[in-house]
Structure 1
């Protein structure tokens, strides 16, 4: 399994996630949730980590963190190892509970506190059995779910003393009561429409932020780094970027539509065009602005947005053909973008 790319520095923000081994349950009973949260708070204090929001689902968890020191890996290793030892000793078992190394996206400080926290808090209502319920019933499930920080951030229940709510709530009002109410309404908007994973719009999923932030990460931490083989693909993507022509050639090769035809607005194969739009949106944001991408495809900006929305709708609906096509094309892009070995 590819080793996730790690970027660590003092004051960094992260969206951290991990699943159960083989997608098995991580939390089987109330005591498991409580013990994990106890250890999350304990190690947050020990490693000087701020916990901004979290959500524990039966087979995975999400956490939004700030590290005061460059110590994310040590913090997470301590947390996950401690919880694994606890469960194995109690149940007289052995082996892994979590699926490999945790995933972590480094997050820009401007513009993502509310967006990411909302995405994390909506996890309980994205479960298939709950998605089909009426909005009011989903609102009830969201408000009654005990194993996330949503209730604490909205005043529905007292939160743990180690939870830092100020950063998420600061842009929602002038006093604590108003902030909690406005944030609750903001999250509940996600019950009426699909809320996209913020990382879906990023060209590199290990960094959540603007093109300027991605460039800063590349320049400050990655340009001179030499990592293990497992990290090289993502590292090379960050170091070299993706040009529009690379993505176009990969899409043409995968769809069987000539590149000159595929980039033209007169292309009759709408799915191929939508796939190309999805790819350039993911991979070319660091090299071209959205308006320039639209012009390169012979589209107005609104046309580019509509094509993007069609792709997101198919992804949100779980269309297997779309997911398979996106994966195939993405592999083609990444293969073309890697430097040749000498």
Structure 2
């Protein structure tokens, strides 16, 4: 049976599960785990991919991501290829480390995001890597400890997750922890790692026309959501890909983008590269970062180098620029 193509779209939520080949260990000790986390950090920041949850287990890993400037497949290839090379050199081994096909599930944000955060972060407890919730609060190789304020990860979107539980950090943390604790007796939830719409009826339109589109069927494990969600995601993915390819064919580069942003904000092109915190310039630089990474497909590293910023600063600016562009209803137009 041929493999089905991965489904992805800018801004899509993806639950990624990576397993060792033949269920072998992919982490032997903390040095391995630290190497993976550091590479994950760099890859996420460089691709402007958001991470809401993660957990490292001896022979597999869970990541809850929101697609950034590049497809999840590209981001994961960089992460896994780099880590496999480091792991093999350290342990003097050859050959594949991971199963050749990691699992990625496109997830509907509402109502599944928080359920997935809880499910992923409880993995170390279910796998008996920690004895209780108190130990999980401090466990450094899952995202739960960062949400509890026990460690700082500049690449994990803790503010976004905690914001779902309250405006004040202390209140939000207590509510989040109670939510996680309530999930302990629920055990493993197989419905969170598969399901969706079957594609064997001749495509999504045929599924929708058949009247079976709202059903979650076990035949397609790439989807966690309803038919309308899937159809919308596919449409957005196709439109975004066509737009990015069109801009690249037209030769739209960073210099061209600088002139476009300067025109939109009524400033000189040089102003975008100047330091300063005046609101108009901050807004212009933020939109510049957003369009450079999300629309032109430039790396956060290249943008950071051009603006004299750090990778984390560019990633923050990308998200802020997206909000500014939406609030002001401004769009990047090709030549």
TM > 0.5: yes
Partner of 1:30: 30
Given candidates 160, 166, 171, the residue that maps to 1:173 is 166
State the Cα distance separating 1:120 from its structure 2 match.
0.3
**CA 1:47–1:219 in 2, change beyond 3 Å: closer, same or farther?**
closer
Aligned to 2:229: 213
Instruction: Tell me, in whole angstroms, the C-alpha distance in 1 between the residues paired with 2:228 and 2:132.
Output: 37
In 2, Cα distance between the equivalents of 1:37 and 1:148? 10
Gaps of 5+ in 2: 197-216, 239-335
Provide the C-alpha distance between the structure 2 equivalents of 1:158 and 1:143, rounded to a whole number of angstroms: 10
1:67 deviates by: 1.6
Change (3 A) 1:108 1:160: same
Q: What is the CA deviation profile of residues 227-259 of structure 1, one whole-angstrom value per residue up to 9, with x for unaligned ones?
A: xxxxxxxxxxxxxxxxxxxxxxxxxxxxxxxxx
Note the residue ranges of structure 1 that are not aligned, 5 or more in a row.
Answer: 223-342
Farther-moved stretch of structure 1 (182-191 vs 203-212)? 203-212
Q: Once the two structures are superposed, what CA deviation does each residue of 1:55-87 show, in whole Å capped at 9, x if it has no partner?
A: 000100000111222421111001000000101
Hey, what does 1:292 align to over in structure 2?
A: none
Deviations 1:113-142 (Å, cap 9, x if unpaired)?
211100100111222x57xx9xxx532343
Distance in 2 between residues matched to 1:175 and 1:126, nearest whole Å: 30
Q: Distance in 2 between matches of 1:200 and 1:95?
A: 29
CA contact (8 A) 1:138 1:191 kept: no
Q: CA deviation at 1:188?
A: 0.8
1:140 partner SS? helix
- Match among 130, 137, 140 for residue 143 of structure 1: 137
C-alpha RMSD of the superposition: 2.3
Matches of 1:211 and 1:176 in 2, distance apart?
A: 36
CA distance in 2, matches of 1:52, 1:43: 15
TM-score, normalization: structure 1?
0.58
Residue-pair matches, total: 215
Correspondence 1:146-165 to 2 at 5 A: 146-155=140-149, 157-165=150-158
* Corresponding position: 1:187 with 2:180: yes
TM-score, normalisation: structure 2: 0.59
Partners of 1:27 and 1:35 lie apart in 2 by: 10
Partner of 1:101: 101
Cα distance change, pair 4–184 in 1 and its aligned pair in 2 (3 A): farther
Aligned: 1:65 with 2:98: no
Question: How big is each residue's C-alpha offset from its partner over 1:83-111, in whole Å with a ceiling of 9 and x where there is no partner?
Answer: 00101112222111111121111122322
